[in-house]
Each structure stands twice: as structure tokens, then as C-alpha cells.
Amino acid sequence: MAVPYGVSSMVAPLRHVLVQRPTAAFGAAFANPANGYLRPVDLDVARKEHELFVELLASLGPAVHDLDADSPYTDQIYTYDPALVTDDGAILLRSGKAARRGEEELLANWFGRNEIPLIGHIEAPGSVDGGDVFWLRPDMPCVGRSLRTNQSGIDQLAPLLGEVHVFDVAYDAGPEACLHLMSVISMIADDLALVERGRLPAGLHSLLHDLGVRLIDVAPDEIATVATNVLAVEPGVVMTVAGNPQTRAAMEAAGVEVHEFAGDEIVINGTGGPTCLTRPVLRT
């Protein structure tokens, strides 16, 4: 049966979303330092955290679909990165992290089974990670030129999205640390964003100001615990990993409804937040 699709917003009500449960490959992630995990993964804990994450997500309204792949890829749990879904269909990406290349084909199989058309595929030498792409407005896609997304990839992506706004992402701690554009901003509503202002590209800061978007600053000592990455289920309603009380308080003071989940393994250890754990398929 076909799954309805269409995404051109980070905050419109989330109706259908794709996730991937942790597999044995995720459990072995720490064995390869290039994966960037902080410590050995407790796979049993990770699976329980993911189960409860999905339950919370579903309780907030979206239909949650499981990719259900016995994936050999360490990072497949972070389904945001390998593909985009737009109002016209899906775009398969090519990760700037070599170990993630191939994940997009598992998503392509799911799209095919669910009658979601493929409208493009980033090809070598281009690279694009989903974490570098977000919609500020439906007609305003933003792309980060980063260590995972290069100019060739942006040149291939732009005709599929329309006019894109490109911002350079800081080198920061280098290729293994994986600083995406969305590492420093999460949209909460059309006029509200959670940001790490110190690494926010100056041009993006200026654009947010021009659009009248209010900014909530993440607590500096909660950056390492992925406080900046929150998932908007609808405008002003977000999911966030537990353990960042200052940032939660700042969001609530701005009128945001916040839902926490435990994520020591699936978020903190792998440094991928609730947005990373989801591939939105339909927002309306």
C-alpha cells in the first residue's frame, strides 16, 4: 500500500516518518574509531531506548514506519541522512562519510515498496548528508557546505530543490566529528529556532534575523549532550533527549511543549539527535 509523502518544512505536523531499529552493526560501532562513538555500545539498552523513543513519537501523532532492515551499516539508525523526501518524491544522497555509502539503497527499496517515486540520486564526486539540508520556509531550502557535503553535491541537489541558500559550516573538530548545518540549528516553529549561536553561520544568522525568527540559545555546557538537536512534531511541540535541563527550561520559557526521552546510547553515544533518528516522509 502506498504511503503518502511530501516534505517542505521542518515544523509542519509530522504525519508519516521512517525509523530504523538498532542492529548488531550499531552494537559494534565503537570497535572502529572512525565511527566516532564515545564508548562501547550497550545494544540491549540501545534497543530499549529506541523502542521507547518510537512509542513516544507515535503517541504524539505520526504514523511510524520501520525500515526493518538487517542493516550492516553502523549508522543506519540515523535515517535522516541517507535520503531526502520532498513534495515531488525522494532524493537518494551520497554521504560524505564513506562508511555510510550504501545506506541510501536500503531506503530506496523502502520507497519503492511504498510507491514513493525517486526523483534524483547524488552521484560521485558529489556528496550530501541529510544533516546539512533543512527547510527554513517551504520555498527556502538551506544547505550546509561542510566536510560531509561538497559543492558538487550541492550543484546536483539544487535543481531538485529549487533555489537553495548555501552556508559554510565550520571545520570545527575535523572529519571524524561530523559537524552538520543541523548540528547548530533546529527549527521549532516557522518563527522560532533553537541555535548554537557560536557556530551558526553568520549568513544564516542574518537570514533568520531578516525573517523575524526568534532564537533560543542552547546552554553551552549541554552542546556535547546533543541539546541543540530537537525534533518538531508540530509547530511548538518538540522531542528532545533527556539530560539537558537548562536548554529544556529555555524552550519552555519560550512557550515550547517539550517531550523528553532517554537516549544515552542512541543519541549521546552516537551524537545523533531525535531529528537524526527520523526520516520525515509526510508533513502537512
Residue 272's pLDDT band, with cuts at 50, 70 and 90, is very high
Mark out the alpha helices in 114-188 (DSSP H runs).
151-161
Is residue 7 included in any domain, yes or no? no
Q: Which pLDDT score, from 0 to 100, does residue 12 have? A: 98
Is residue 49 included in any domain, yes or no? yes
Is residue 3 included in any domain, yes or no? no
What are 232's strand-pairing partners?
A: 238
Q: What is the mean pLDDT of residues 62-80?
A: 96
Q: Return the C-alpha cell found at 60.
A: 504524539
Give the whole-number percent of the chain exceeding pLDDT 90: 96
Is residue 2 included in any domain, yes or no? no
The mean-pLDDT minimum among 16-25, 59-68, 174-183, 200-209 falls in 174-183
Integer Cα distance of 198 and 195 in angstroms: 9
Q: Which pLDDT score, from 0 to 100, does residue 175 have? A: 81
Q: Which pLDDT score, from 0 to 100, does residue 155 have? A: 98
Q: Is the pLDDT of residue 239 over 90?
A: yes
Q: Which pLDDT score, from 0 to 100, does residue 207 have? A: 98
Is residue 4 included in any domain, yes or no? no
Q: Which pLDDT score, from 0 to 100, does residue 279 have? A: 98
Q: Which pLDDT score, from 0 to 100, does residue 248 have? A: 98
CATH number for 86: 3.75.10.10
Q: Is the pLDDT of residue 174 over 90?
A: no
Question: Containing domain of residue 214, as a range?
Answer: 14-283
Mean of pLDDT over the chain: 97
Q: Which pLDDT score, from 0 to 100, does residue 178 have? A: 79
Integer Cα distance of 249 and 254 in angstroms: 9
Look at the chain and report how many structural domains it folds into: 1
Q: Is the pLDDT of residue 84 over 90?
A: yes
Q: Which pLDDT score, from 0 to 100, does residue 180 have? A: 96
Count of beta carbons in the 10 Å neighbourhood of residue 226: 25
Q: DSSP letter at 62? A: P
pTM of the model: 0.97
SS3 of residue 221 by DSSP: helix
Q: Which pLDDT score, from 0 to 100, does residue 77 have? A: 98
Give the CA angle between residues 258, 11, 150 to the nearest 5°. Answer: 115
> For residue range 38-54, what is the model confidence (pLDDT) as tens digits?
999 999 999 999 999 99
Q: What is the mean pLDDT of residues 150-161?
A: 98
Is residue 266 included in any domain, yes or no? yes
Is residue 126 included in any domain, yes or no? yes
> For residue range 102-133, what is the model confidence (pLDDT) as tens digits?
999 999 999 999 999 999 999 999 999 999 99
Using left for φ > 0, alpha for ψ between -120 and 50, and beta otherwise, residue 165 falls in: beta
Is residue 8 included in any domain, yes or no? no
Q: Is the pLDDT of residue 147 over 80?
A: yes
